[in-house]
Amino acid sequence: MSIQAQVYMNYKNSTVETASPGKLLLMLYNAAIRDLESAIQRIAEKDLEAAHKLIIKAQDIITEFMCTLNMDYEISEKLLSLYEYLHHRLVEANVRKDVEIITEVLGFLVELRDTWQEAVNKTSGTGQRMAAVGATGINLRG
């Protein structure tokens, strides 16, 4: 690995390791959105192997969301059901290489990401703890 690549990897790791739970959640949403957008492009280019890998990455992120939900909150059950649905749809999309299904999931992820972005913005600098029922066991108490 080149020195420049090593410096970049160190920076990237530091960014993730020092991110607040809310920012980390947003990073994961952004990664899943980016992967699915790229998967759509790869399907259009008939690069089905690359599309497969990108969809799997998005599935892994959604699985992380499901595994780290704090089930102490009523909303967590609803989020779990939604995440399970999105994961199921991505499995289906991957088998069929169906852009329409991927687009459906993308819509949900963008909406969820935007909602969490609002929550992060409202809690930043207020001394409140971000309450998230999603990645990294984030907690929704303020």
How do the pLDDT tens digits run along the chain, 142 residues long?
A: 776 656 545 544 545 455 788 899 999 999 999 999 999 999 999 999 999 999 999 999 999 999 999 999 999 999 999 999 999 999 999 999 999 999 999 999 999 999 999 999 988 755 444 444 444 444 433 3
Q: Which amino acid is at 98?
A: D
Site of tokens 């852009």: 99
Write the DSSP assignment of 78-90 as a string of letters.
Answer: HHHHHHHHHHHHH
Q: Which amino acid is at 86?
A: L
- pLDDT of amino acid 19: 72
Superfamily of domain 20-137: Flagellar protein FliS (1.20.120.340)
What's the CA gap between 126 and 43, in Å, rounded?
Answer: 44
- Sign of the dihedral through C-alpha 10, 123, 58, 134: positive
Give the burial class of 139: count Cβ atoms within 10 A of its Cβ; 0-12 exposed, 13-18 middle, 19 or more buried: middle
Where in the chain are the domains? 20-137
- pLDDT of amino acid 17: 55
- pLDDT of amino acid 125: 55
